[in-house]
Structure formats: structure tokens, C-alpha cells
Amino acid sequence: MALLGFLARGSRTGYELKALMERSVGFFFGASYGSIYPALKSLAGEGLVRVEEVVQSGRPNKKIYTITPEGRQRFRASLREEEPSGDVFRSEFLMHLFFGDEHDPRRLLELIGEYRSRCEARLERLRDVEEEFGKTMTPYQRMTLDFGLSHFRGRLEWIREVEDRLRSLAARDGPEQRQPRQEAQR
Amino acid sequence: MALLGFLARGSRTGYELKALMERSVGFFFGASYGSIYPALKSLAGEGLVRVEEVVQSGRPNKKIYTITPEGRQRFRASLREEEPSGDVFRSEFLMHLFFGDEHDPRRLLELIGEYRSRCEARLERLRDVEEEFGKTMTPYQRMTLDFGLSHFRGRLEWIREVEDRLRSLAARDGPEQRQPRQEAQR
DNA sequence: AGTGTCATGTAACTAGTTACATGATTCA
DNA sequence: TGAATCATGTAACTAGTTACATGACACT
């Protein structure tokens, strides 16, 4: 259904749809080729999109998908009728942190550093999107972008505080006490 | 592996583990019976946990799982060696908002109201956990709880702003213009 | 010489969830 | 009387992802 929404704003190939989705809704709705191509095929089978094949040399023929009037109708019907299911959130990183007292403190600091990098990178990409499209977005697209911006900013604030607490915990335990069990096991 | 972590803090039944996980890590690591029972079985098969069956009448026999020394070792090894994969976040609600201009404004306000209720309920539950266990938590458990607290507080702040913007958009468009396409299609 | 972009697609796999099956006891 | 709690487990299903297969062209 998401694909229909994007196609309602202009005809695209599967490849273009993936790139477009990655930048716009990627942070809350991932989609791989393995899900996009089969979905487009089934939409075409239902007559919700039309396919126009453009012959190319040196690469597979381009397939430009265009939404049909039935597709538009179906899309709007799905917006009206579908109850969005609850957000899904899952974090293995937090599970590691949860069991932090069984962890090597240095490893923990390393893990959170990686976590921070990933958040920073994602925030950066959202800022790029803001600069590039900020003026042409609908107010609704703007709201979802703001969601992402505040999401990652909040996350980074929390990370900074956790790093401080982790460092003071490490200092309190003293440098000589670091990963005693790991040393003993060898 | 998460199950081993919980069992390292005390022996439990599968049923108890589910309840325990729901309250403590539920907001970032969901687990259903359909995943817990088979996992416990395979852990027992690998000798990482020991099972003690308690005969009961009127309900299935209780199976109390206890971690073995090999289980503890394996758990710590997994903390040391496993790279936590990136967080997973997915929101159908945001997809609805993203296409807000094709939506009926009243329906949108309704959807965000439901979204707010869910967030408030989750925040409330985390506050319950804080009151009940705040004093006995490890500093690491405290950090993950704070993650949840700041996560949902940030979310609620964003929601309030979106509700304001949505209402002013609805006011600007005027009440007579509501869902014009939906009316016309019938 | 090597990386990134364009461009399609499938098969195998992963990691679960949901629904079902069973059923006594306790509390409001 | 009805809901919640305790307690286990499986089968069928869902919704994907990852890796593979193919390969030219442009840029650095």
C-alpha cells in the first residue's frame, strides 16, 4: 500500500521507489528489493498499477510503474479503513546494556560509542533531507521528518548521559578492577 | 541468550520469564510464549539450563529452569562476542501521517489520538516499574528504564505539537471542506 | 583499477507471531 | 458470572531479509 502512495505522486521504477523510500520514510519503514519487486508485480496483477517497459542496453529493461484510477481509489480506501498496528521497536543494544554488570566496562563503552555513531549518522541524513526537500514537503511529510529529528536528538541526549554515568562507574570501580573474570578465565 | 541472562538472576518457569521480561525489557525486546518455550527447550538440550519439574494439580506441571555453570559461561561469552545488530523501528502510524493530505483530517486526528493513548499507557507502565523496582535495579537496568522514559516523553511532546498543527490545518481549510473527495466518490 | 550507480529479479532462509488446545482456581 | 491468573505447548502462518545472479557505464 505504501508503494501506491508513492506512485500516486509520480511514476517510478522499482529501483527509484526504493531510493525514494529510503530517504523519506526509511527511518520508520524499511523496504528491500526483495519486498518491493514482488509487491509491484502483485499490484500490477491486481490492475492497481500499469507497467511501461523501456528498453535499455547494458542493463535490465526499465519498468516504469504508473498508478491506475483503481489504484488511487484502493489507496485512499486503505487509508480510510486500515488501522495502523502498533509501532515495532527492538534493540539488541539495550539488552546488552541491561546486563551491563556482567559485561566488561570497556566493551560497554565501545558498544555505546558505536551506537552513538549510528544515531549521529542517521540524524545527519535526516538533516540532509530537510535541507534538500524542506521547502517542497507537505506539512504531513514535515511532521514525520520532525518525528525522526526529535527521535534521534532525544536518543543522543540519552546517550551522552549514559556515557557520563558509565565513565563514573568505571572510575569508581577503579582501573585495576577492569574485567577481572575475563582475565582469570584464560 | 536473553533468557540465560534472566535465569542468571534466579530460577524461573517459562511463564514467569515472560511476565518478567514484559515488565523489564518489554518495550525494546518483546517475547511471546511461542518463542520462549521452544527456546527453553533448546537451551535444556544444550545443557545450558537444568529443568526441575514440579507436579501440580489442575494445571500443567511447573517446569522450573535453572542456569548451569556452562550456561553462565556461554551467556558471558555471548555478551563479549556478539555484536548487537541495529535497532529496529517500524511505524505504520507514521506512514498514515506521511500521506496525511490524502487522508480525512478527522480520521487523522482520531488516529493520532489513539497513538497518544498507547504512548501514555506505555509511559505509565514504565513509571509503575520505576516505583516498584527503582531502588533495587542495577545502574544498567536504570539506564534502560531511563531510555524508555525519555523515549516516550519525547514522543508525547512531538504528539502534542502535531495535534496543534493538525488542528490549525483543519481550521485553515475550513470545516466545510472536510473530506471532499470521500463524499464525491460515493 | 576499483567503486558507485543503474536495474531487475528469485530462492532460501530467518525469526518470529497468532491462534489454538486445555483447564482449575481465585477474586470482584 | 465472568475475568484474571497460573501453566504448558505446537502448528500454521506472516512478513519479511540476505544473498545470489547479471552486467554496462561513469567517475576517481
Task: Give the model confidence (pLDDT) of A98-140 as tens digits.
Answer: 999 999 888 999 999 999 999 999 999 999 999 988 899 999 9
Between CA A98 and CA B82 the distance in angstroms is 15
> How far apart are alpha carbons A6 and A36 in whole angstroms?
12
Q: Is the pLDDT of residue A183 over 60?
A: no
Nucleic chain C contacts, protein chain A, residues 39-98, CB cut-off 7 A: 40-41, 56, 59-63
Task: Using the CA of B37, give the nucleotide whose C1' is nearest.
Answer: D9
- What is the reported pLDDT for A80? 92
Query: Which residue in B23, B74, B103, B147 has the most chain A C-beta atoms within 10 A of its own C-beta, making it the best mutation to test that interface?
Result: B147
CB B70 within 8 A of CB B47: yes
Q: Is the pLDDT of residue B183 over 70?
A: no
How far is the C-alpha of A120 from the C-alpha of A133, rounded, in Å? Answer: 20
* Residues B138, A25: C-beta atoms closer than 8 Å: no
**What is the predicted pLDDT for the residue at A47?**
96
Task: Report the residue from B88, B92, B138 with minimal CB separation from A101.
Answer: B138
Residue A27 is classified by DSSP as T
* Residues 6+ positions from A32 with CB-CB distance below 8 Å: A18
Q: What is the pLDDT of residue A175?
A: 63
Distances in whole angstroms, Cα of residue A117 to Cα of each of A71, A101, A124, A186, B138? 41, 23, 10, 32, 26
> How many percent of chain A have pLDDT more than 90?
84
Q: How confident is the model at residue B177 (pLDDT cuts 50, 70, 90)?
A: low
Residue range B79-98: average pLDDT? 95
Contacts of B139 in chain A (CB under 8 A): 100-101, 165, 169
For the segment B97-105, the average pLDDT, to the nearest whole number, is 93
Chain A residue with Cα closest to B90 = A28
Mean pLDDT (whole number) for B94-99: 97
Cβ of residue A34 lies below 7 Å from strand D? yes
- CA diameter of chain A: 71
- Whether residue B23 lies within 8 A of chain A, CB to CB, comes out as no
Would you tell me how many other CB atoms lie within 10 Å of the CB of residue B51? 14
B15-34: per-residue pLDDT in tens? 999 999 999 999 999 999 99
CB contacts under 8 A, A 71-110 vs B, are 73, 75-76, 79-80, 82, 84-104, 107
pLDDT > 90? residue A185: no
Paired with B12 in beta bridges are: B65
Residue A182 is predicted with a pLDDT of 43
Residues in chain B closer than 8 A to A182 (CB atoms): 80
pLDDT interval class at B142 (50, 70, 90): very high
Judged against a pLDDT cut of 80, whether residue A176 lies above it is answered with no
Read off the pLDDT of residues B53-85 as tens digits, 9 standing for 90 and up.
999 988 889 999 999 999 999 999 999 999 999
Alpha helices in chain B (DSSP H): 2-7, 14-24, 33-45, 69-81, 92-98, 105-133, 139-173, 180-185
User: Residue type for A108, please?
Assistant: L
Which residues of chain B have a CB within 8 Å of the CB of A92? Answer: 29, 82, 84-85, 87
B47 phi-psi bin (left φ>0, alpha ψ -120 to 50, beta other): left
Q: Which residues contact A155 (CB under 8 A, 6 or more apart)?
A: A119, B151
Mean pLDDT of chain B: 91
- Tell me the C-alpha to C-alpha distance, in Å, between residue B24 and each of A124, A130, B78: 31, 36, 20
